[in-house]
Amino acid sequence: MKHLVNVILAVAVLLALYACTDETIGVTITDSVSSIIEDSSFVITGHSVRNDRVQMRTSTKMLGVLHADGFGSLSAEAVTMWMPAMRLDTTNVKPEWIDSCRLKLRMPYSNGFTGDSLAPMRLSVYRLNKALPSPIYSDFDPSGYYDFDDLLATESYSPSSGWLEIGSSYVTGTAVTDTVRVISVPMPTELGRELFNTYVADPAKFSSPKAFAEVFPGIYITNTYGSGHVMNIKATELDVYYHKHVWLDDTTETDSTFSQSYLASTPEIISNNIIRFSIDDAITSMVNSGEALIVAPAGYEVQVRFPIQDIIDKYRVNVGNSQALINSLSLELPVSIPTTEYDIQPPTYLLMVKTSQKDNFINGDSLTNNKDSFYAIYDAKEKKYVFSGLRNYVLNIINNQGGIATEDDINFTITPVDVTTYTYTQSYYYGGTTSTVTKISPMVSRPAIARLLLDKAKIKITYSKQIVD
């Protein structure tokens, strides 16, 4: 073993001496120059296309009638099936002790409506007589799904008439407290008693939306009087109020009142906004002149040709045989806001998805992958959207397609969407919250409009290049 160590040391010494006498052999330091290059010399083109039939994939509902100069005439109704409570309170409760039943429509306190908050309107609620179809779209005709004589309730309302309530999960789907306005519609007390008796007789009917649809397929909410606003209904539920005797202690009994949400409209069940939208001539004129307009709900989206092949070709020419790394690829879209009555604003979110995959995106898991689909948030201060996560998109074409983009890689649709997030507290002790996107769906939360200034759009690729001497 000792002999082997001596041999190794001798060889090491010889190699060290040899390296010192020959400049071409041994450890050397390579001379190189690194640089970061930004290129934004690319042009994106596009045009508006009508998008008057959208699939609803959210529990959000729009309700009301709005006539707005520069925008158009919009009517929004809703149909929904129900997610039943899996367990009802039946302990010491009798059907005759159910006192009332209310349909509650909850809208955000801030930005919960568009139009005149004082405009009086009236809604009517009908009972559906069969389950809704799936998929279901914004041009759905409810005829044949309800009987005009099967009216459950009517109620006059306006955004300002809703009473305030502090809540959280049923409004935002998060653990963050929020304030809402609630439109409370008195429903027949007999409906609450009917649901109670059904549960007592067969709890399995409340085990799933499909089973419950055999008992109560759902409701149709329509506008029967007035115009002036549309409301963003974030949550819909049916609450039942009842009383029962409870023991405060071994000797004291009292009569107490209770309430329970028997039913709710959740993202898992089938619901739909019925949208009727007569677009203002001013918008039609802008579209006909070549403007790229985004209009929601069920209005216009924009189809674009993204110059990905030009980007790749120029990148390869500039890099040559040098080592290079793409750091980022982004699209900055400035907008202008057409003049409208009620100062209708751009959508909060835009989705950019490959046109060939748009329907699959909406029908599928509805989450962006930063390769075929991306979303951006509106910057109201700068009046622009920035799609910042396009790096994987270009890398996929370079690494997996030999740098050759197909038509599917070039053609994109930019469309307004609603984004649902779940927000949770990171630490009980240190605070802080984290938000996770759980769903992206066609925008039905409020009216929206924006003109995309494609001629001023900025596509920027940033990459590092190393030149070895």
Q: Does one domain contain both 230 and 287? A: no
Q: Confirm whether 28 is domain-assigned.
A: no
State residue 432's pLDDT score: 64
As a three-state string, the secondary structure of 145-191 is CEEEEEEEEEEEECHHHCEEEEECHHHHCCCCCEEEEEEEEEECHHH
pLDDT tens column, 360-391: 998 887 789 999 999 999 999 999 999 999 99
Low-confidence ranges of the chain (pLDDT < 50): 1-29, 168-176
CA 396, CA 308: separation in Å to the nearest integer? Answer: 11
Establish how many alpha carbons lie within 13 A of residue 72's alpha carbon, considering only the half-sphere containing its beta carbon: 23
Whether 323 and 295 map to the same domain: the answer is yes
Q: 467: phi > 0 → left, psi -120 to 50 → alpha, else beta; which?
A: beta
- Do 314 and 463 lie in one domain? The reply is yes
In a domain, 73, yes or no: yes
Do both 242 and 316 map to the same domain? Answer: no
Nearest to 394 by CA among 318, 458, 302, 306: 306
Residue 389 domain-assigned (yes or no) = yes
The angle formed by the CA atoms of residues 172, 174 and 177, to the nearest 5 degrees, is 75
**4 within domain boundaries:** no
Asked if 343 and 451 sit in the same domain, the reply is yes
Q: Which residues of 284-305 are buried (b: 16+ CB within 10 A; e: fewer)?
A: eebbeeebbbbbbbbbbbbbbe
Between CA 278 and CA 107 the distance in angstroms is 25
**Is 393 within the bounds of a domain?**
yes
**Model pLDDT, residue 10:** 44
Q: Which of these, 128, 144, 105, 150, lies nearest to 216 by C-alpha position? A: 128
* pLDDT for position 69: 98
Per the domain annotation, does 5 fall within a domain? Answer: no
| Rounded Cα distance, 235 and 454, in Å | 36
For residue 192, the enclosing domain spans 61-266
Phi, psi dihedral angles at 133 (to 5 degrees) = -75, 160
252 and 343 share a domain? no
Helix (H, G, I), strand (E, B) or coil at 52: coil
Same domain, 67 and 191: yes
pLDDT of residue 435: 76
User: What confidence score (pLDDT) does residue 179 get?
Assistant: 82
What is the model's pLDDT at position 155? 95
CA–CA gap between residue 366 and residue 166 (Å, rounded): 30
Tell me, yes or no, whether 367 and 454 share the same domain: yes
Q: Report H helices in 272-323.
A: 281-288, 308-319
Residue 259 is predicted with a pLDDT of 95
* Residue where a domain stops, chosen among 266, 298, 313: 266
For the stretch 23-41, pLDDT in tens is 333 344 455 678 999 999 9
Name, in order, each residue with C-beta under 8 angstroms of 345's C-beta and a sequence gap of 6 or more: 337, 380, 448, 449
- 362 within some domain: yes
What's the confidence (pLDDT) of residue 12? Answer: 44
**Do 211 and 204 form a contact (C-beta atoms < 8 A)?**
yes
End residue of a domain, out of 201, 235, 266: 266
In a domain, 271, yes or no: no
**Same domain membership, residue 225 and residue 312:** no
Cβ within 8 Å of residue 302, ≥6 positions away: 46, 47, 48, 49, 292, 293, 294, 413, 414, 415, 452
The verdict on 246 and 346 lying in the same domain is no
Give the residue from 232, 266, 300 where a domain finishes.
266
- Please indicate, yes or no, whether residues 119 and 243 belong to a single structural domain of this protein: yes
d(CA 245, CA 255): 5
Question: How many domains in the chain?
Answer: 2
Tokens 């399995």: give the residue.
204
**Same domain assignment for residues 243 and 301:** no
